[in-house]
Amino acid sequence: MFTEDALSAPPVTIPVDILRFNTCGSVDDGKSTLIGRLLYDSKSLMEDQLEALERSADITGGGQINLANLTDGLRAEREQGITIDVAYRYFATPRRKFIIADTPGHVQYTRNMVTGASLSNLSIVLVDARLGVIEQSRRHTALAALLRIPHLVVAINKMDLVGWSEARFHEIRAQFEEFLPRLAIKDVKFIPLSALNGDNVVEPSVHTPWYVGPTLLGHLESVHIASDWNLSGFRFPVQWVNRPHNPKDAALHDFRGFSGQIAGGIVRASQKVVALPAGITTTVKQIWTYDGPVPEAFCPQSVTLVLEHDIDISRGSMLIGLDDNLPGASSDLQAEICWMHPRPLQKGKKYYLKHTAQTVQVVVAEITHRLNLSTFDAEPEPAELAVNDLGQVRLRAAKPLVFDGYATNRLTGSFILIEPGTNATVAAGMLHPPREVVKPENGDYVI
């Protein structure tokens, strides 16, 4: 899309998938420049965008086009030369569509990185080749690991300023490899580049004959994004009860469906499902969609399920399949959290917790530890968690949640905390696996 060759190219083919990635690094690591370079060199920029860039270059850049101006969208950012919020960018090559979340590197903006990265397939951690690994690099890598982002790229930028030194590249790689084994990241790629000059971003660099790997874009286009979606245990959080109450149409008069997005697994018409937390077993009568009924549906499709029995289910209920992958149901929750608000988290405080399609009240029973991001050590029982702290907590909920461990299912294993009164979103949480799973074969669960 949008390449100059498009006119002569064969008819537009629809890209088969979407890769979501985010960029992180500290101030001046060149994140915005890198994104600008990706867009510029992949010919994803339009003439009016280039004109606007050139106009601002005349005014502020002394004639030099500043690629960072492409992403630093707000006036305050341009004035201060920083990125203050997550910005999303879109581009496509003939092989893939890309959604970029440009996430700022300031220490106080960790919440934005979590926001931008939570659904990413891949994270790019930028490192200034002159500085090597700094606390920010470790923090960003740890966050990507904690969020279970499947792929990591360490982009060692500003290689031109260290004379394209292969030794320096390996030195920084070794710095990363010291702590990577302690983190849950399986796929890591190191790429030496210069975002400013475009080396190894889209085009291979002549300065790095010692580097035989792909360019950044080459890697983004080809990295295997094995389905991030969990297809093994059926989970269906009910978002909305679909009752037409249509007095004119007999077929619709009694229609009662449950609408939601499948958060895990596969569902088939006429299979047995259990409604939780009620614990009632029933059968899927029909998988209703606007385009007609379907025999089966899978994560992350949005559908409406019609059930055999008229049971009391509402927003916040969860339908699950009867297989080996069962969720837990508990009001005693253990989780890793990222605290995002200037008012610290304290033991005994109450919050709203939003999980799938329900919101419940919780109280902080315990702050088990705080994670020191420089050493990756757990500091037991801190008095509080401050903004941008990561830690482990135990929460007691006003009613049981039906959940999975975050490592098993991102959608049924995650939650946010909301501060009552201000309604601010104050934390992102990742649940530990349940200590016990529900037991649907128990007589109590069947009508």
Partner 1 sequence: MPSYHLDHLQHLETEAIHIMREVAGEFERPALLFSGGKDSICLLRLAEKAFRPSDLPTPLLNVDTGHHFPELNEFRDRRAKQLGAKLIVRTVEDAIAKGIAQPAPGEISRNQLQIPVLLAAIEEFRFDCCIGGARRDEEKARAKERFFSFRDSFGQWDPKNQRPEIWNLYNGRLNPGENMRVFPLSNWTEMDVWEYIKREKLEVPSIYFSHRRSAVRRAGQWLPVNDLIPPRPNEEVRELTVRVRTIGDIISTGLVESPAEDVDDIIAEIAAARVTERGSRADDKASEAAMEDRKKAGYF
Footprint of partner 1 on 267-326 (CB under 8 A)? 288-291, 296, 298, 300-302, 315
**By CB under 8 A, is residue 123 in contact with partner 1?**
no
Q: Are 91 and 46 in contact (CB under 8 A)?
A: no
Q: Which is nearer to partner 1, 190 or 234 (CB)?
A: 234
CA-based nearest residue to 169, from 124, 214, 130: 130
Q: Which residues contact 250 (CB under 8 A, 6 or more apart)?
A: none
The number of residues in the chain equals: 447
**By CB under 8 A, is residue 252 in contact with partner 1?**
yes
Token pair belonging to 291: 């385009």
Compute the least distance from the CB of residue 98 to partner 1, in Å: 10
Compute the least distance from the CB of residue 195 to partner 1, in Å: 19
CA dihedral of residues 67, 72, 74, 78 (deg, nearest 10): -70
Q: Measuring CA to CA, how many Å separate 329 from each of 299, 332, 383, 399?
A: 21, 9, 29, 10
Token pair belonging to 105: 């590197």
Q: Among 181, 248, 292, 423, which residue sits at the site for partner 1 (rule: CB under 8 A)?
A: 423
Stretch that binds partner 1, among 7-15, 215-223, 269-277, 380-388 (CB under 8 A): 7-15
Number of Cβ within a 10 Å radius of residue 54: 14
Compute the least distance from the CB of residue 240 to partner 1, in Å: 5
Number of Cβ within a 10 Å radius of residue 222: 10
Compute the least distance from the CB of residue 404 to partner 1, in Å: 13
Compute the least distance from the CB of residue 64 to partner 1, in Å: 18
**By CB under 8 A, is residue 1 in contact with partner 1?**
yes
Compute the least distance from the CB of residue 204 to partner 1, in Å: 26
- Which residues inside 397-416 make contact with partner 1, applying CB under 8 A? 410-411, 414-416
**Separation CA 394–CA 284 (nearest Å):** 36
- Strand 18-24, strand 122-128: pairing: parallel
**By CB under 8 A, is residue 31 in contact with partner 1?**
no
Q: Among 180, 225, 266, 365, which residue sits at the site for partner 1 (rule: CB under 8 A)?
A: 266
Compute the least distance from the CB of residue 183 to partner 1, in Å: 20
Contact letters for partner 1, residues 186-225 (x by CB under 8 A): ----------------------------------------
**Separation CA 244–CA 242 (nearest Å):** 6
Q: Which is nearer to partner 1, 280 or 299 (CB)?
A: 299
**Separation CA 242–CA 167 (nearest Å):** 63
Stretch that binds partner 1, among 212-220, 343-351, 354-362, 390-398 (CB under 8 A): 354-362
Q: 373-388 burial, b for 16+ CB within 10 Å, e for fewer?
A: beeeeeeeebebbebb
Q: Among 246, 331, 346, 374, which residue sits at the site for partner 1 (rule: CB under 8 A)?
A: 246
Helix 135-146 and helix 110-117: axis angle, to 10°? 40
Q: Which is nearer to partner 1, 105 or 440 (CB)?
A: 105
Q: Measuring CA to CA, how many Å separate 266 from each of 147, 235, 325?
A: 24, 8, 12
Number of Cβ within a 10 Å radius of residue 418: 17
Compute the least distance from the CB of residue 315 to partner 1, in Å: 5
Stretch that binds partner 1, among 150-158, 218-226, 260-268, 391-399 (CB under 8 A): 260-268
- Which residues inside 57-116 make contact with partner 1, applying CB under 8 A? 71, 73-76, 78, 84-90, 92, 97, 99, 111-112, 114-115
Q: Among 365, 386, 418, 437, which residue sits at the site for partner 1 (rule: CB under 8 A)?
A: 418
Q: Among 81, 209, 244, 293, which residue sits at the site for partner 1 (rule: CB under 8 A)?
A: 244
Compute the least distance from the CB of residue 139 to partner 1, in Å: 17
**Helix segments in 272-367, DSSP class H:** none
Q: Are 274 and 439 in contact (CB under 8 A)?
A: no
